[in-house]
Every structure is written in structure tokens, then in C-alpha cells.
Structure 1
């Protein structure tokens, strides 16, 4: 006679979940940088003009930044597992489209679609990390693994891009994502428990979604196009003003909405407010350094794509060490002191790298600075997103993650635009040895300014909630419920 006893749900292995989330973060990070070293071949292969080639990069950044809030809220309303899978499927399909593209317009459209996929995938991944693992040691370890994948993936993308482009052509930097993202999407339904049904009557704030998505997209467009077209060009000015106006309308809508896309009360959580500011400043400083190092290796020392990728192996290893160390130290000492220390170490590394940059310097001379910089960068990346979501209710961590990651994208665009202008000042009309010397001087200046910005970021991070103070929330995460207790927040 068959048993009528209800069957207990099969427990998912946390190690398998964490491995999948780290793998997804690795895909995002690799995809962000993998096309950089392939740009010359893409330009010649598809007939891009020098003016329009930047949109292979910018289309991704604009779409990613513009859709992040929508992606975060969709994760809250529709479930993070669903949006995790949707984002990965978008990545796979758009990567296939990019790899098969035979015109510049199709490739730019594919990059924009990849950005939309990332905007749904990134907040869902952050939400799953913060809800599937209990606060404290378990979650710190999860963020350490996730951060290692993200930080290392940014540099691994440069290496992989060089290898694939040289061996198989530029198309391979897109096609490699198809099996990776497709496999991860399938594994999501095996490794991650189904999303809980939501019967609370919440609905999507359509007006808020439209104004925020279009407004942020317009602002990010202006930021990435400004250095190319000029900050006072009619197109850039009109787009920036339209974006600012739409964002103002968005704030009014959110104040009046009964079920807003972005509940403004979330910003009364000091950790979210401070964490968002830290993320903005981090990407405006640390997030730009990969670009300047690439220019230094290729423009000053003449490295090819593969050699440039190999040059990033040292900082990649240092980032991995920093990420893993940060998780253990945060469990013991709290997030705030470890994050501040990490930022301080990273700023010191940026100063050391700047001091050792020279037209005749060897790669070996850069290694000490790259190691110190990588350790601080990896540790900071691991901790800043975890700090931003502390004290946020479980059902709102998707939109909180969207806020933090939107500040990440905008901060990176602002920082890169400002620091590129500093680095490129005085280069017009130069050539040969004089150009190399002036380029090195500009890069050093940009690195020093970035170091000053990192120091300011460390000061902002001091505003995180003090250790031992519980956030204002009564929510229990899935991991905390399984653990059977409510550990106090240790920031």
C-alpha cells in the first residue's frame, strides 16, 4: 500500500548552488571585457568606422545600466531563479547573434541584448547569494567565492579574448558564451529550488519602470558618448537633460505609488545608502584601472593581445587571494573594518603602480604594485555588495541589488570619462617617443587621481552600520531559517 505521508522537499546542495552562482558571475565579468582585445579585428571585419567602433563596448554598458532597476524588481516579483535563467538565455541567444553577425548594426544590437541579459542576471545572482546563505560566516564565504569569480573574470576576459581572437577570430569571443550561458541556464532548474509563490498582490510599477529604464539609459548614453562627441554637443546635452528630467519624474512617481518599483524608504537603511555610494566610487576608481593598464601595456610597451592578456595573470591571482581572504576576515572582524582596510590597501597599490610606470620600465617592476592593488581590489569587490544588502528584507533584495549595481555601472562610466580626459590631455599632435612619454605621464596622473578617489571611498565606507547594531527588519532568509536562528548583523 503506497504511503500517504507527504514527501519532504529535496534539499539542494549549497555547494552546487554557490558554484553555479559563481559561474554565472564569471560569465558576466568575462563578457564585459572579452571583446576589448578583439576590437581591431571586429572593426576591420565588419567595417566599423573609428568613431563608431566604441559602440561595441558602449551598447552593452548603456543597456546594462539602463535595465538594472527593472531587472532587480523583476527578480523580487517574478522570482530570482526565473530571472537568473532568463538572463542566461538572453546571454546565450544574443551571443550567438553576435558571433554570426555580418554587419556592424547587427553586432551592436547583439551587444545591447547582452547588456539587457546582464541587467536581469546580475541582480538575480546577488539576490540568490544573499537569500540562499545564512548571514554571517556562510554568506561571507559565499560572497568571497562570488567576488573571486567576478574580480578574476574581468581579467580572465582579457586573457581569453586574446587567446580566442588569435586562434579562431573575433567571432569566437561571442560564440564561447553560447554553451556556457546555455548550460548554466539548464543547471539553474536542477541546482536552485523553485521560487516561492507570491500571493501578496504586488504588481509591476509600469510608469516607474518606463521612466527609470529610459532615464538611466539616457544618462549612461550621455556619459559614454560625451568623451567622443564632446560634452557640450547637442546630442549629448539633450540626452543628458532628458535623462535627468525622466529620473526626476521617476522619483515623483515612486513617492506617490502604492507599489513602487523602487521603494524610496529603502534608503533609510544606512547600509544600502552607504553601500551604493561605495559601489559608485569603487567603480569610478578601481573599475577604470583595467583600461589604463591595457593602454599602458599596448600603447606604451607595444604588447599584442595575447601578451596583454598574460600580463594580467598576476593581478588576477592577487584579486583571487584578496577575495578569499576578505570573506574569512569579515566573518571574524566584521565587514566595515575589513572593507575600509581593503580600500586603503588598494589605494596604496594604485600609488605604487603609478610610481613604477615609465616608458622604459620592465613588467617585473610593476609586479609589487599590481599584487598590492589586486589584493585590495578583490577584497573590496567581495564586500561592497554584501554590505549594501545588509538589513534589506528578503523580498526586496532584488531591487536593492539593482540599485547597487546601477550605481556600479554609472560610477564606472563617470570615472572612466573623467579619468580618460585627464590621461589624454596634451596628446594631440604628438607621435613616436614623445607620444609614448606623454601617454605614460597621463596614465600616471590618472592613476594617482584614482588612488585619491579610492581613499575617499574608504572614508565613505566608515559610514556603514557599526558592529553589533541590528538592522530594522524582521525578515528571515531561507538560509537563516534553515540554520534555525537569527545571527546578529556584524558589519
Structure 2
């Protein structure tokens, strides 16, 4: 009875939409957000010299975006549910575009960091709103599998393309273009959304908004990301890091208590997190996000610092990784009709773990063809297989008025996982490398980081095996 009610309500929401245009708009949005997580990385040295950043201050070009994006995702999802997914996505796109223009025009470090923070705020609004529109437009069946397959391809390839585009733009056009590149994408997404995406009905406002819960959730998540990203300056065992993370845990615990007892409209219904599928998918994505971020980071450094490639060449050498994600996402669509999403997560996670373990064999006197190409293809195909099933599990069976909250939780989990994983693996690699900058010592650190990433992916596979519910025999195959 409940599932029939969910399906009928989702069908009602989706009936006024243009599915193809909605998918195109959401894909452009997700590609832009994913690209912006990596497009700046290759250009950091020239950004630092161009604007006069200190060595420590330069890291905040990355951290300002991660901090606001990861910290505000839960609030962004709730706002999208309350005021309408399309409306919030349009406003977020406008802010993202303006912030990108301001970043390209920046003349001082503080101006660029502020622009990156504003980009993160815009991304925290558009990401959950776009994913909620996708989930409600494609409520089930073959079209949902196909739509999420396309979404996962542009999502993961955006990060890989970001490395390529960032290298090319930095080397041949100037670092400012790693910011300006967002403008045409934001304009295209605005045009598609304005005319082609149906105006959805906001959730019924069942009371005054839970302001205290929103503040606690945002502050706790932001402080958690803040504590993690600063581990490059303050070690994990330092008093600064421990106190920061402890305060974050206290704030998040307070958020849970407020959500349990509030009589206002809660930021997120805790019963949503009690759902085994939603909880399992988020745990999987927490681990998966950390491992995925480490691949882009360590391999980029290996190609440039150990093998001696230029930024443009390193970006070009990420093309097989990008194509592998597309292939994996295509296979996820093809086999998604026949196999349960849980089984796809197990298969894809296992392939990705094997690819990361292979990366752990990189050599200081190696080459792209021998040491990078093979593991890039294996790991990226596994990643492509996993993204769409994870999103489908986390948002499946969720009522339209909670779709933004559910997607906000998933996006927040992935972003926090990426920050936690990258900081943890970066610490592991730095401990092995020490203060040496010789290719041999650097290579040892990067290889160890990738091996630990393989272990994290194995843990994600175990989550899929033991936490996610087994599909019923009737659901094991979805025949065309």
C-alpha cells in the first residue's frame, strides 16, 4: 500500500516534466559541480604566484569550496524541498555563475577565496535540487536506470575532465579561465531549466522551519569538514584537530536530539536515515567518496612530480580514466535492467579496489603506459558501475517532498567522505614520504596512499554485502 502511494505521488510530480530536458539540465549541473571540485587543482601553483598566496593560504582555494559545499548540503536539500526544487536550482545556478566571474576577476587572495566559498554555497543549493528533480522525474523502471546511468557518467567524468581542462587552461589561457569555464555551463543549465523543467510543487509546510536544527546541522558538518581539511597544518593527533572534531561531533549529536524532539518542520526526518537501504547507501558512499578523491589527487601528483609531466600532459593522461567511467556507467545502464543495484555495488567496488591495489605498484622509474594506464581503466570502470546504483538505492522509495533532503544527505556524505578520505590518505602518504622530495620517496608515499584506498573500497564492498538488504527474488532481474 505504501509503495503504491509513493509511486502514484512520484508519477504525479513527474507527469508535468519534460524528461529529456530535465535530464539534460541536471546533467549539465552535475558536470559543472563535479568539474569545479578538480579543475582548480592543476592550476594552484600559477594561482599562487599570480595572486601572491602564501604556501598555507593557497590550500584555501580548495578548502573554501569544500567547506561551504559540504557544510551546507543538508540545508540546501531542505530548502529545495520547502521552496521548490526548480526555483532553488535556478537561484543556485545564478549565484554559482556570479561567483565564478568574480573569481576570475580576483586581484587578491582574499577575493578568490571568497569567490570559491560563494561557489560552494551555490553548489550546495543546486546539487540536491537537481538530484531531487531527477529522482522525481524518473520514478522507476528502465528510464530511471538509464537516467541515473547518464547522471553517474557526467558526475564522475566531470572530476576527471576537470583535471584535463584545468591543465590545458592553466598552461595556454591563464589560471583565470579555470573560473571562467563555469560561465557557459551555468548559462546553459539556466536556459534548459528555465524553459524545459516543469515547476514542481514545494512540500506542504507543516509548521515553522526548524531553525535550530538547521544551524546545528550546518555548523556541525562545516566544522567537521573544516577540521579535516586543516590536517595538512595540524596533525590528526594535535589538540587543535581533536578539539575541532569533538565540537563537530557534539553539534551533530545536538542536531540529532533536536530532530527527535522538535515540534517544528524538521531539517530531515530521522526515520529516513533508519531506512536500511538509505543508511547503507550513505555508508557506502562515505567510503567510496574518500577513495575516489584520492585517485585523482595521488595520480595527478605522480604524473607530474614523479614522472615529470607538464600540467597539460597530466590532464591528457587522465582521459583513459574519464573514458573508463563512461564505459562503466554505460555498463551500469545495460546490466541495471537485469541485476539489483546492490550486486552492481559489490561488482563495481571490487573492480575499483583491484585497480587501486594495482596503482599501489607504481614505480619511481615507471611510465604512463606501464604504471598508470591499466589501473586507470580498471578502477574507473568500477567507479562508473557504482555511482548510479548508489544514488538509486539512496533515493528509491522516497516521497517527492523528501527527495531533496535524501539527495542532500547523499551529496553531503560523499563530500565529507572525500574530505575525510583525502586528508587521511594524504597524512598516510606524507608520513611515508617525510620531508624528502626525491621521486623515490614521493612515489613510496603515493603508492601507500593508493593501497590504503584499496582497503577502504574493500570496506565499502563489505557494507554492500552485509548492510544493504538482499533484493527479493522477483526484483533480482528487471527484464526489458
TM-score (norm 2): 0.92
2:463 corresponds to 1:457: no
CA contact (8 A) 2:339 2:476 kept: no
C-alpha change, 1:124 and 1:175, in structure 2 (3 Å) is same
My pick for the range that moved more, 128-137 or 177-186, is 177-186
- Unaligned stretches of 5+ residues in structure 1: 1-8, 471-486
2:339 to 333, 340, 363: 333
Match of 1:60 in 2: 65
The separation in 1 between residues aligned to 2:473 and 2:127, in whole angstroms, is 29
- For the 8 Å contact 1:269–1:391, the answer to whether it is kept is no
Aligned residue among 401, 421, 428 for 1:422: 428
CA drift of 1:202 comes to: 4.3
User: What's the offset of the Cα at 1:381?
Assistant: 1.8
Residue 4 of structure 1 is matched in structure 2 by: none
CA distance in 1, matches of 2:242, 2:342: 39
Give yes or no for contact 1:223–1:413 (8 Å, CA) kept in 2: yes
Distance (Å, rounded) in 1 between the aligned partners of 2:449 and 2:476: 41
> Which residue of 159, 165, 169 maps to 1:164?
169
> Does 2:318 correspond to 1:315?
no
Specify the alignment match of 1:438 in structure 2.
441
CA distance in structure 2 between the partners assigned to 1:159 and 1:367 by the alignment: 15
Alpha-carbon shift at residue 238 of structure 1 (Å): 3.7
Distance 1:49 1:466, change over 3 A: same
Q: Does 1:184 find its partner at 2:189? A: yes
Given the alignment, which residue of 355, 378, 385 partners 2:384? 378
Q: 1:197 to 1:70 in 2, by over 3 A?
A: closer
Q: Provide the rounded CA distance (Å) in 2 between the counterparts of 1:348 and 1:232.
A: 31
Matched ranges for 1:220-231 at <5 A: 220-231=225-236
Q: Does 1:408 align with 2:411?
A: no
Partner of 1:287 in structure 2?
293
Q: In structure 1, how many angstroms separate the alpha carbons of the residues matched to 2:287 and 2:146? A: 24
Take 2:69 and 2:477, find their aligned partners in 1: how far apart are those partners?
31
Structure showing greater radius of gyration is: 1
- Taking the TM superposition and a 5 Å limit, the aligned residue runs for 1:38-77 are 38-77=43-82
Cα distance, 1:292 vs. partner?
0.6
C-alpha separation in 2, matches of 1:389 and 1:218:
26
Match of 1:134 among 133, 139, 147: 139
Shift in alpha-carbon separation, 1:426–1:350, aligned structure 2, 3 A: closer
- Say whether residues 1:299 and 2:294 are aligned partners: no
Tell me which residue corresponds to 2:150: 145
Instruction: Say if 1:438 and 1:199 are closer, same or farther in 2 by CA, change over 3 A.
Output: closer
Distance in 2 between residues matched to 1:448 and 1:201, nearest whole Å: 49
Cα distance between partner residues in 1 of 2:434 and 2:458? 31
Most deviating of 192-201 and 89-98: 192-201
Written as runs of structure 1 = structure 2, the 5 A alignment for 1:91-240 is 91-240=96-245
Q: How many residues align?
A: 462
Shift of 1:11: 5.4
1:440 CA displacement: 1.2
**Structure 1 SS opposite 2:41:** coil
Question: How much has 1:280 moved relative to structure 2?
Answer: 0.2
Change (3 A) 1:395 1:360: same
Identify the range of structure 1 (236-245 vs 306-315) with the bigger mean alpha-carbon deviation: 236-245
For 1:436 and 1:166, locate their aligned partners in 2 and report how far apart those are by CA, in whole Å.
Answer: 23
CA contact (8 A) 2:148 2:392 kept: yes
Partner of 1:466: 470
Any conservation in 1 of the 2:68–2:222 contact (CA below 8 Å)?
Answer: yes
C-alpha distance in 2 between matches for 1:186 and 1:489: 38
Deviation at 1:31, TM superposition (A): 0.9
The residue number in structure 2 matching 1:255 is 260
Residue 8 (structure 2) aligns with:
none
Give the RMSD, CA atoms, in angstroms: 2.0
Do the aligned residues in 1 keep the contact of 2:339 with 2:477 (CA within 8 Å)?
Answer: no
Contact 1:29 1:153 in 2 (8 A): yes
**Deviation larger for 238-247 or 72-81:** 238-247
Q: Distance in 1 between matches of 2:207 and 2:81?
A: 10
Distance (Å, rounded) in 2 between the aligned partners of 1:14 and 1:310? 34
* Residues in 2 aligned to 1:171 and 1:187: alpha-carbon distance in whole angstroms: 26
**Deviation, structure 1 residue 428:** 3.3
Q: Normalised by the size of structure 1, how large is the TM-score?
A: 0.90
Distance 1:425 1:59, change over 3 A: same
SS in 2 for 1:51: helix
Instruction: Tell me the CA shift for residue 489 of structure 1.
Output: 11
Q: Distance in 2 between matches of 1:266 and 1:157?
A: 34
Cα-to-partner distance string for 1:425-479 (whole Å, 9 max, x where unaligned) = 2433434xxx211111221121111111111111101222322389xxxxxxxxx
In structure 1, distance between residues paired with 2:59 and 2:117: 13
Which residue pairs with 1:447 in the alignment? 450
1:108-134 Cα shifts (integer Å, max 9, x gaps): 011011111111111111111111013
CA deviations on 1:379-421 (whole Å, 9 max, x unpaired) are 1122212211122222111111111111111111111111111
Q: Is the 8 A contact 2:433 2:444 kept in 1?
A: no
Which deviates the most, 224-233 or 284-293? Answer: 224-233
